Amino acid sequence: MGAVNTAVSIQNLSFSYEKKLVLHEASADIEAFRLTVILGKNGSGKSTLLRIIAGLLPYKHGNINVAGTELKQMSLHHRARTFGFLGQKHKAVFPFTVEQVVLTGRAGFINFVPEKKDYELADKALQKVNILELKNRIYTELSGGEQQLVMIARVLAQEPQILLLDEPTTHLDFNNQITFMKLLKEFTFNKLTVIAVLHDPNMAFLYGDDFLFVKEGKLIRPKATVNPWDTEFLQSVYGHNLQAIPHANRALIVPDLQQEIQHD
């Protein structure tokens, strides 16, 4: 394996909205060039964590270290070069073409208007997600799946080192979810670090490399001796009786119906 290459190091991070404490002294190291999935219940703070890393929420307590620099000390520019962020679903208002949308990913590096290099990078990004043929189409007229691919191309045009994705597959159909997850996996082979919040543990276990769970304000991982899909561990996170069904060296997680019924 060689030395572990840490992309993002989180230490004792605490965060609260008004008075509600969401993260409490959370710590974790996220490895570079891997697909790290953040899992947890709704409202556990997994999106909050991602948005803090993306610079959308300012944090006061704790440290986030990225390649030797504290996140707080990074300029907007530096951040744009390091992180690319994709939210759940983007609501477009104006009927921009796909190319115009993707170009806006270059915003941090453009003074007044985009130049030749920016157009080239936009093309390259569209190629990477295999939708170059959509270039001149109107974004608002595309399907939800296509729109999400355009938005990921937009983030790629920014040329970040780390991708942060907040439930990117939530609004996609089954087919597009698979396309999307495969794409994320592919990115990690091309020297990109991908950190994604997913609410479906199965999609996570099928495609993810590392798994980070948010529970009661802490970041936890299963013990080194057990798999991430260890039912006992997952039950402690999700609070339901679960069953792991082995599949391709990994496992799928389903509710344990018999146990559930007995409990009722």
For another protein, the binding residues in 103-162 under the rule CB under 8 A are 103-110, 112-114, 136, 154-155, 158
* C-beta closer to another protein: residue 24 or 90: 90
* C-beta closer to another protein: residue 104 or 241: 104
Determine, following the binding rule CB under 8 A, whether residue 208 of this chain makes contact with another protein.
Answer: no
* C-beta closer to another protein: residue 34 or 106: 106
- Site size for another protein (CB under 8 A): 37
Residues 52-71 vs another protein: string with x where CB under 8 A? --xxx---------------
Please list, in sequence order, all residues whose beta carbon lies within 8 angstroms of the beta carbon of residue 98, skipping any fewer than 6 positions away: 126, 131, 134, 135, 136, 137, 138, 139, 142, 150, 153
Question: Cα angle vertex 195, ends 178, 183, to 5°?
Answer: 30
Phi, then psi, of 196 in degrees rounded to 5:
-130, 135
Determine, following the binding rule CB under 8 A, whether residue 46 of this chain makes contact with another protein.
Answer: no
DSSP-based three-state secondary structure for 27 = strand
Supply the Cα-derived Rg of the chain in whole angstroms: 19
Shortest spacing between CB 172 and another protein, in angstroms: 19
Determine, following the binding rule CB under 8 A, whether residue 47 of this chain makes contact with another protein.
Answer: no
Question: What are residue 245's DSSP bridge partners?
Answer: 252
Shortest spacing between CB 204 and another protein, in angstroms: 23
How far apart CA 164 and CA 32 sit, in angstroms, is: 13
How far apart CA 165 and CA 84 sit, in angstroms, is: 8
Residues that bind another protein (CB under 8 A): 54-56, 76-77, 79-81, 83-85, 87, 90-97, 100-101, 103-110, 112-114, 136, 154-155, 158
